[in-house]
Amino acid sequence: MLIVMKTDATDSQVQAVLRVIEDLGFKPHPMPGATRTAIGITGNQGAVDPSHFENLAGVAEAIRVSKPYKLITLDLRPEKTIVRIGDATIGGDDLAIIAGPCAIESRAQAFAIAETVRRSGARFFRGGAYKPRTSPYAFQGLGEEGLKILAEVRDLYGLKIVTEALDEAGVDLVERYGDMVQIGARNMQNFSLLRRAGKSHLPILLKRGLSATLDEWLLAAEYIMSEGNYQIALCERGIRTFAQHTRNTMDLAAIPAVRRVSHLPVLVDPSHGTGKNYMVTPLARAGVAVGADGLMVEVHDQPDHALSDGAQALTPEQYEQLVSEVRAIHEVVVPAHVS
Ligand code: PEP
Ligand code: MN
């Protein structure tokens, strides 16, 4: 059920509707928009009777939702969500650039890369302190020590920190040291982690699962939103296909497909999306051209010595070139993008 308030509905009329929803034992999700407030309802098992709402003051319509998602949809919020971290945004007018190494390896490595990222004008620094590795014997990240280094990067370079939580306890830690919680591809359907992310005060970067359909990905975002956290950015990072010329197949069609149904911003990650250094910049250009709100990209000061994902890491010079190219493309794409 979706309640659409009249454009001139007052605050107290909205509050009255929220109370009715709570009294029925459900959870209301008010979404104030440019022209009207809509209120999503979750927590109901079966259909909600629209007659509870139809005659309340200020209500324009009570609409039955037939789609599997209720909160991520443009029906609830026709305007795009802008994820805000201080004065940095994802989904606003600026192209969001999240850059940094795959993993934090040392203070010197993190600072050297942060210097490059800051110089490029990007607002977000990424780096894993906890790494989801295919092999239990591969480098697993520095753990809390890595988070402490990230917190120093934030203080020294003024960059917002995006870093992965592998589990619920990891969210507690990222909340202590970071600015945005990354949920990785392998965890996209870890439902207890999604629910914990939904209770976080930090925004969430939700990567697409390795074999996730669009609906599965959007329903993962729905898990987070249903707990009350509406600050989510999606990230297309490539899916598993039969192709052997890339690590993953970057599904660029996912960007307009998400845009058609959801108000959430969507990023592309051409690093994991290709796995190959020489493909990262071309696919970054393509991602921005199809309307992505930003990029997540891996950079390393010494890719040959990286402890994880070195083959897809850009050198600082390559990264700087990428940023200037994608900014130029974004300038051209923005008018179409906004309409
Ligand atoms: C990463 O961002 O380094 C990462 C592990 O990504 P993904 O979850 O997309 O594989
Ligand atoms: Mn990586």
**Per-residue pLDDT tens over the stretch 229-241:** 999 999 999 999 9
Judged against a pLDDT cut of 50, whether residue 121 lies above it is answered with: yes
For residue 66, name the pLDDT band (cuts at 50, 70, 90): confident
Judged against a pLDDT cut of 50, whether residue 339 lies above it is answered with: no
Judged against a pLDDT cut of 90, whether residue 336 lies above it is answered with: no
Decide: 266 in ligand 1 pocket, CB within 6 A: no
CA of 95 to the centre of ligand 1 (A): 21
For residue 317, name the pLDDT band (cuts at 50, 70, 90): very high
pLDDT confidence of residue 335: 62
DSSP letter for 299, please.
B
Instruction: Supply the mean pLDDT for the chain.
Output: 96
User: Rounded to two decimals, what is the model's pTM?
Assistant: 0.96
Q: Which ligand is nearest to the CA of 166?
A: 1
| 271, 300 contact by CB (below 8 A) | no
pLDDT confidence of residue 67: 86
Cα–Cα nearest to 161, from 173, 151, 146, 172: 151
CA of 233 to the centre of ligand 1 (A): 15
**Per-residue pLDDT tens over the stretch 126-145:** 999 999 999 999 999 999 99
pLDDT confidence of residue 46: 86
CA of 309 to the centre of ligand 1 (A): 9
pLDDT confidence of residue 47: 87
Q: Which ligand is nearest to the CA of 296?
A: 1
pLDDT confidence of residue 274: 98
Substitution candidate for ligand 1 out of 124, 240, 272, 297 with most atoms within 8 A of CB: 272
Decide: 280 in ligand 1 pocket, CB within 6 A: no
Judged against a pLDDT cut of 80, whether residue 334 lies above it is answered with: no
Distance CA 83, CA 63 (A): 27
Segment 286-315 shows an average pLDDT of: 98
CA of 64 to the centre of ligand 1 (A): 37
**Per-residue pLDDT tens over the stretch 159-208:** 999 999 999 999 999 999 999 999 999 999 999 999 999 999 999 999 99
Percent residues over pLDDT 90 in the chain:
94
Decide: 184 in ligand 1 pocket, CB within 6 A: yes
CA of 185 to the centre of ligand 1 (A): 6
339 vs 272, more confident: 272
Q: How far is CA 36 from CA 69, 79, 84, in A?
A: 20, 11, 21
Cα–Cα nearest to 53, from 16, 27, 10, 25: 16
pLDDT confidence of residue 133: 94
Q: Name the residue at shortest CA distance from atom 6 of ligand 1.
A: 184
Decide: 132 in ligand 1 pocket, CB within 6 A: yes
Decide: 247 in ligand 1 pocket, CB within 6 A: no
Segment 17-32 shows an average pLDDT of: 96
Atom of ligand 1 nearest to the CA of 269: 9
Distance CA 22, CA 329 (A): 47
Segment 63-77 shows an average pLDDT of: 92
Cα–Cα nearest to 275, from 243, 309, 302: 309
pLDDT confidence of residue 45: 86
